[in-house]
Amino acid sequence: MMRVPVALQSLLIQCTAAALVAVGAVFSRSDFAPPLWLLALAQGALAAAMSRAWRQPSWWPPLHLGFLPLAWLAQQVDVASWVYATAFMALLLVYWTTFRTRVPLYLSDRRAWRAVEALLPQTRPFRFIDLGSGLGGMPLYLASRVPQGEFQGTEIAPLPWLISRLRARFHARRVSFVRRDYETIDLSGFDVVFAFLSPAAMPALWQQAQAQMRPGSRFISLSFAVPGREPDQIVSLAEGARHTLYAWEM
């Protein structure tokens, strides 16, 4: 059965919830005419319930709940149009490929950086790449701590890539950032490959890693395991699966 992208699911949910609330309001036999803010809340609650029924990721129901009420609230506030245009452009520069890749912007924290540091080769030079490097935190931290490594990050979203490039220019050596889709990168040139992507991306990424990475290299994923592939090492950073490192020896 064809899998519907989560963004398209969300569009269908929002439209269906709005249509059901509108039909209910029009054909209601009550003399009470609900205000628009109440209809917006009802639509949000229905959309959130539909999102849970569709088993969307846990962050989607709150987004559905607040989308239309917040849109209604924004209409009540006198805000210049350029503010909305600026916000839209900023979001576009950060999330413009999410619909296709199904990989939102996730930022790892210092706990993950320290845990990955412990998994790096300790006595020999190596090359490391962060697939979907965001603002560059992981490669920049490791470069400051591990002198024998050469570090690279790849990020396709323009704004995070630009920020990481600027950070590397002023704060680090042995770090480079490229604006490329990780699917177009040959992983054979790296000893350690790190990813913090999404469950949807893991099957194809694992196939790429198996096809390209050299024997003896290491593949590390934060939070998201490879379906059906038992990791060689599991490192728990905190309670819960979202705070876990999975490592495979290739």
DSSP characters over 167-210:
HHHHH-SSEEEE---GGGS-GGG-SEEEE---GGGHHHHHHHHH
Average pLDDT over residues 206-235: 94
The CA distance from 42 to 65, in Å, is: 9
Pick the range with the lowest mean pLDDT from 43-47, 104-108, 138-142, 176-180. 104-108
CATH class (in words) of the domain with range 110-249: alpha beta
Residue 94 pLDDT: 58
Beta sheet of 244-249, edge-to-edge order: 175-178, 149-154, 126-131, 192-195, 218-222, 244-249, 233-236
Task: Please state, for a pLDDT cut of 70, what percent of the chain lies above it.
Answer: 83
Residue 17 pLDDT: 92
Residue with tokens 């040959």: 186
pLDDT band of 185, cuts 50, 70, 90: very high
pTM metric for this prediction: 0.68
Contacts of 46 (CB under 8 A, 6+ apart): 17, 20, 21
Of 204, 242, 201, nearest in space to 59 by CA? 242
pLDDT band of 221, cuts 50, 70, 90: very high
Examine the pLDDT at 2 and tell me if it is beyond 50.
Answer: no
Average pLDDT over residues 66-72: 87
Average pLDDT over residues 95-104: 57
Does residue 215 sit in helix, strand or coil?
A: coil
Residues 133, 138, 143, 146, CA torsion sign: negative
Examine the pLDDT at 106 and tell me if it is beyond 70.
Answer: no
Average pLDDT over residues 99-107: 59
The CA distance from 189 to 214, in Å, is: 8
Average pLDDT over residues 116-124: 93
> Could you tell me which residue, 159 or 102, shows the higher pLDDT?
159
Burial 52-90 (b: 16+ CB within 10 A, else e): eeeebeeebbebbbbbbbeebeeeeeeeeeeeeeeeeee
Residue 198 pLDDT: 81
Of 138, 142, 129, 235, nearest in space to 184 by CA? 129
> Could you tell me which residue, 133 or 29, shows the higher pLDDT?
133
Examine the pLDDT at 1 and tell me if it is beyond 50.
Answer: no
Residue spans per domain, the chain? 6-78, 110-249
Residue 17 host element (H or E) = helix 6-26
